[in-house]
Amino acid sequence: MSSMEVRFPAEVASVLTKSGWFPGRKRLQRAEEWAGQLTDHASPEGHRHAVFPAALEAWAEFGELTVTLEGPGAEVARTPFVIDPLRGLHQPRTLADLGRSLELPVCPLGEERGGAALLAIDAVGRVYSLDHAGEWFLGHSMDQALTTLIAGLRAERLRFLTDAL
């Protein structure tokens, strides 16, 4: 059994490999370029992106991966996604709002369904999906989130005190 199969379920490892990922993949220069582009951008209201080590690590290892799976998954339909933080370039306010609710900085990770949902990562490496229906928790790590997305596992809806008001 390879180290990749230990890290990911076989189906997830296969999909990631077909998408261009491999153990030890590190594109730090590209991640640093994205960090610069994100930190240089401000919304019209002055909101800025937070960038932190967990995001840089995720971008370096998984950045530019495009997964085109669709159809039934283990629990829910699988949807295509891409890891590219610039897909969230114009969402600093949305991510800042989520960060305030989580009490942690959050920055863009990519998108699902051709932009129908924004993928985000927090400062401790947890991953979320934000869409018109709310905010969804995909996993405590990139590995868990990728497994959730690729295997078609059910994401947990985030609930904040403001949801009850």
| DSSP conformation class of 136 | E
First CA to last CA across the chain, in angstroms? 51
Question: What sections of 69-141 are H helices per DSSP?
Answer: 92-102
Q: Report the SS3 class of residue 69.
A: coil
pLDDT by residue for the chain (165 residues), tens digit each?
455 548 999 999 999 999 999 999 999 999 999 999 999 999 998 999 999 999 999 999 999 999 999 899 999 999 999 999 999 999 999 999 999 999 999 999 999 999 999 999 999 999 999 999 999 999 999 999 999 999 999 999 998 755 444
Give dist(CA 67, CA 156) in Å, integer. 21
Quote the tokens at residue 152: 């078609």
The pLDDT, as a whole number, for residue 155 is 96
Apex 56 CA angle, 68 and 129, nearest 5: 45
Chain CA centroid to CA 25, Å: 17
The pLDDT, as a whole number, for residue 165 is 43
Give dist(CA 76, CA 82) in Å, integer. 18
The pLDDT, as a whole number, for residue 83 is 98
Quote the tokens at residue 133: 């229906």
The pLDDT, as a whole number, for residue 162 is 52
Give dist(CA 20, CA 44) in Å, integer. 36
The pLDDT, as a whole number, for residue 161 is 55
The pLDDT, as a whole number, for residue 6 is 80
Asked if 32 and 51 touch (Cβ cutoff 8 Å), the reply is no
Beta-bridged to residue 59, according to DSSP, are none
Return the beta strands (E) in 13-162 as ranges.
66-67, 71-72, 77-78, 81-83, 106-112, 117-122, 127-131, 134-139, 156-157
Asked if 71 and 77 touch (Cβ cutoff 8 Å), the reply is yes
